[in-house]
């Protein structure tokens, strides 16, 4: 009964006001006296509206920010070299090399890769090789740095056996062109051992290691822990890259000991990776063997021991295991703890850059190697490519 009276009174009041407005506009011959009489009539609208219950205020809620981060890691990158001949450069100035995977790379909060060689148009002092059959020098045109920018790369490693291919001037110019594009880097001993930077409100710390002259030494684990510990005090997420381990399809397993290749100590990548996580690292991206290696979780942090050849045009061996590789798209929370992720398999041939592999050969190899080398790991790699914790 109360609800009916309230409704009737509200409707009546609104109708009366509407009628007055119509009459005022049309002026149906009302006299001044009549208008005064109308004005004097009681109008219940105000009292009716006053009796309405207060309306709830609706807050406009902004979309919640994601509580996790997507970080992509890929392996070795060398987009073509103008040394010893421009014949080793790809068609169309290299603009097509990353086209097929660009949407994947740009979809992450942060994208990392290992930059093999220098970015230098000409000049530099080419390195001397004891065995020319096993030694290559890479010098990519400076315009090629745009291909990394356009594909979404944020940070690269310079800790590898090719960053010094053209001496100090080669390294200097490489850093200059990366700086111009806003791509961060680390891995050079004494000058660029680590870097701290911010993106989208998250502070990242990055460092890189290798067994090669001029790079931060992967074999000096105590120094590596010191660098990582300092980064952990400054950054939300600490990413470590290493270029280590023996090379080739015969060396796809992680032996959990020091590895040697052609007489060179390539480090104990297992001991190194666990040590840097103990020191505060959140993600470890390995590369160097030019083939895929196993992955594991250690203290809820992700390690992959080799990301293989990602985009290596012209002078790299891409036969068999060397021609396939994983893109790792990790999901971590904002303190670096592993949440999940996915593996995207790619393949290369001499005539083109990375393409998504419908046969998922790199994924299958990664699953197999991880089961063999780390049967105790809590990392689960599913046949659809998803990464999760058992």
Query: What contacts 354, CB < 8 A, 6 or more positions away?
Result: 97, 98, 100, 101, 310, 311, 325, 346, 347, 348
Architecture of domain 68-389: 4-Layer Sandwich (3.60)
**What pLDDT shows up at residue 24?**
40
- Find out whether 303 and 273 touch, Cβ atoms under 8 Å: yes
- Find out whether 305 and 318 touch, Cβ atoms under 8 Å: no
What value does the mean pLDDT take over residues 145-162? 98
The domains of the chain are located at 2-50, 68-389
Alpha helices in the chain (DSSP H): 2-26, 32-40, 45-50, 102-106, 145-150, 167-181, 221-232, 269-278, 361-373
**What pLDDT shows up at residue 65?**
60
pLDDT digits (tens, 9 = 90+) for 61-112: 444 567 999 999 999 999 999 999 999 999 999 999 999 999 999 999 999 9
- Find out whether 313 and 97 touch, Cβ atoms under 8 Å: yes
pLDDT digits (tens, 9 = 90+) for 325-365: 999 999 999 999 999 999 999 999 999 999 999 999 999 99
d(CA 195, CA 20): 75
- What token pair was written down for 24? 């005022």
Q: For strand 324-333 and strand 338-349, is the pairing parallel, antiparallel, or unpaired? A: antiparallel
- What token pair was written down for 373? 């080398």
d(CA 290, CA 310): 9
Range scoring the smallest mean pLDDT among 46-55, 166-175, 192-201, 310-319 = 46-55
């Amino acid at each position: 009964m109360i609800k009916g009276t309230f409704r009737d009174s509200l409707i009546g009041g609104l109708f009366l006001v509407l009628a007055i407005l119509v009459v005022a506009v049309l002026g149906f011959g009302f006299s001044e006296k009549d208008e005064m009489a109308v004005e004097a009539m009681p109008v219940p609208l105000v009292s009716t509206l006053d009796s309405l219950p207060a309306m709830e205020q609706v807050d406009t809620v902004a979309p919640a920010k994601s509580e996790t981060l997507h970080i992509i890691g890929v392996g070795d990158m060398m987009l073509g070299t103008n040394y010893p001949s421009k014949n080793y450069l790809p068609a169309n100035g290299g603009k097509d090399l990353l086209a097929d995977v660009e949407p994947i790379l740009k979809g992450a909060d942060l994208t990392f890769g290992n930059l093999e060689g220098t970015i230098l148009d000409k000049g530099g002092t080419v390195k001397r090789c004891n065995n020319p059959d096993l030694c290559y020098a890479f010098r990519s045109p400076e315009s090629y740095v745009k291909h990394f920018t356009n594909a979404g790369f944020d940070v690269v490693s310079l800790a590898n056996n090719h960053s010094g291919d053209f001496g100090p001037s080669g390294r200097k110019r490489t850093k200059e062109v990366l700086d111009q594009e806003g791509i961060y880097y680390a891995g050079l001993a004494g000058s660029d051992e680590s870097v701290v930077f911010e993106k989208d409100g998250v502070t990242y710390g990055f460092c890189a290691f290798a067994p090669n002259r001029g790079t931060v030494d992967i074999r000096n684990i105590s120094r590596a822990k010191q660098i990582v510990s300092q980064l952990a005090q400054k950054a939300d997420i600490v990413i470590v890259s290493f270029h280590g381990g023996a090379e080739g399809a015969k060396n796809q397993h992680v032996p959990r000991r020091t590895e040697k290749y052609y007489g060179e100590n390539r480090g104990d990548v297992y001991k190194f990776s666990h040590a840097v996580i103990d020191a505060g690292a959140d993600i470890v991206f390995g590369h160097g063997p030019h083939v895929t290696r196993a992955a594991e979780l250690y203290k809820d942090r992700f390690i992959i021991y080799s990301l293989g050849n990602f985009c290596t045009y012209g002078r790299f061996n891409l036969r068999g295991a060397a021609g396939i590789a994983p893109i790792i798209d990790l999901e971590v929370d904002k303190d670096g703890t592993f949440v999940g992720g996915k593996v995207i398999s790619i393949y290369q041939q001499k005539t083109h850059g990375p393409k998504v592999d419908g046969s998922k050969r790199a994924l299958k190899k990664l699953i197999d190697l991880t089961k063999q080398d780390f049967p105790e790991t809590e990392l689960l790699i599913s046949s659809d490519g998803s990464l999760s914790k058992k």
